[in-house]
Amino acid sequence: MNDTRTCNSDITCKQYDRTAGHAWPTDQPLCDACLDAGQRDIQALVYDYLDLAQLHEASMSQAITEKTAGSKEKQMLIVAHVEALQAEMVHVLTTWEYELRVAARLSDLEAPAVIPDWHTTISNPPPKLKVRAGTAVQRAVGIITPRVRMLSRLPATTVCATGVEDEHTEVTGWQAIHQLQALHQRARANLGRTRRILSLHGTCPNDACTAQALYRLEPGSFGEDPPVWCDTCKASRAYSDYEHFMVHLEWPEQVQPAVAA
């Protein structure tokens, strides 16, 4: 039945219904909120690529080498790891740029779009050695970003999923969007931009749920106060309520179960 179809992002759907336990109902492969998130993440790959290139150059510099003297082997691994991620970004982006060009009947000779703010900061010049691949990333992102909806509807295509040496697999357009988003997440992790999720002691503030599965996102900046949530029933409370719980072993405004009638 068509009306029971839901967004293919499933549990990671931006509009996942926690009460009913399903992703957003839609007859499209991905819901609008997931498409918007996909577009933002793919757009960010241009900057991820440049930042990774700078990370790569920093790890080769004198200052860092002094700090990590005696661990040259490990450093090589980091560089190889970052280079592999960059290569995968170029491969996946150009693969789907090509598929979209075919689907949208775009000319292969179309001049690459030039994004003026190529420099991430004024003091950091663009990395010279990576410009060719960086241009390919920019061009591919320029083709894909305005066409994420079209990409999400592309049928399964046989591609080398992660690189030219990879086996041929069938990948649909919406899976490609997820793959590109995963690359953005991996780039963020390599650049140290992800936040840890802290596991906290205590029981869920929801009386109907007795789970001891409380979590909190590590504060990202000074003054930020992320809430505490229960991973079982998804109930969430302010951190100040959790501090109250830690002192009194009771959540504020917690409805106590009736002792007797």
Q: Does 24 bind Zn ion (CB under 5 A)?
A: yes
> How far is the CA of 182 from the CAs of 38, 88, 178, 195, in angstroms?
10, 11, 6, 16
Residue tagged 């009638």 (tokens) = 261
Contact segment (CB under 5 A) with Zn ion among 2-10, 74-82, 96-104, 249-257 equals 2-10
User: How many residues are given for the chain?
Assistant: 261
For 106-172, where are the alpha helices, taking DSSP H only? Answer: 131-144, 148-153
Closer by beta carbon to Zn ion, 9 or else 86: 9
What are 100's two structure tokens? 């979209």
Closer by beta carbon to Zn ion, 35 or else 141: 35
Contact segment (CB under 5 A) with Zn ion among 21-29, 50-58, 118-126, 215-223 equals 21-29
Contact segment (CB under 5 A) with Zn ion among 24-32, 79-87, 114-122, 179-187 equals 24-32
Q: Does 39 bind Zn ion (CB under 5 A)?
A: no
Q: Does 9 bind Zn ion (CB under 5 A)?
A: yes
Closer by beta carbon to Zn ion, 36 or else 243: 36
Contact segment (CB under 5 A) with Zn ion among 45-53, 71-79, 80-88, 198-206 equals 198-206
Q: Does 206 bind Zn ion (CB under 5 A)?
A: yes
Closer by beta carbon to Zn ion, 57 or else 231: 231
Q: Does 152 bind Zn ion (CB under 5 A)?
A: no
Name the helix (H) or strand (E) containing 243. helix 239-248
x/- binding map, residues 207-236, to Zn ion, per CB under 5 A? --x-x------------------x-xx-x-
Kindly state the smallest distance separating residue 4's Cβ from Zn ion, in Å. 15
User: Rounded distance, CA 172 to CA 176, Å?
Assistant: 6
Sign of dihedral through CA atoms 103, 86, 41, 167? Answer: positive
Of these, 53, 136, 204, 214, which contacts Zn ion (CB under 5 A)?
A: 204
Q: Does 175 bind Zn ion (CB under 5 A)?
A: no
* CA nearest to 106, candidates 143, 146, 70: 143
Task: Give SS3 for 159.
Answer: strand
Q: Does 13 bind Zn ion (CB under 5 A)?
A: yes
What are 180's two structure tokens? 């590109």
The one-letter amino acid code at 150 reads M
What are 38's two structure tokens? 């996909």
Q: Does 8 bind Zn ion (CB under 5 A)?
A: no
User: Rounded distance, CA 238 to CA 236, Å?
Assistant: 7
User: Rounded distance, CA 86 to CA 180, Å?
Assistant: 12
Name residues whose C-beta falls within 8 Å of residue 2's C-beta, 6 or more positions apart in sequence. 27
Kindly state the smallest distance separating residue 208's Cβ from Zn ion, in Å. 8
| Residues contributing to the site for Zn ion (CB under 5 A) | 7, 9, 13, 24, 31, 34, 204, 206, 209, 211, 230, 232-233, 235
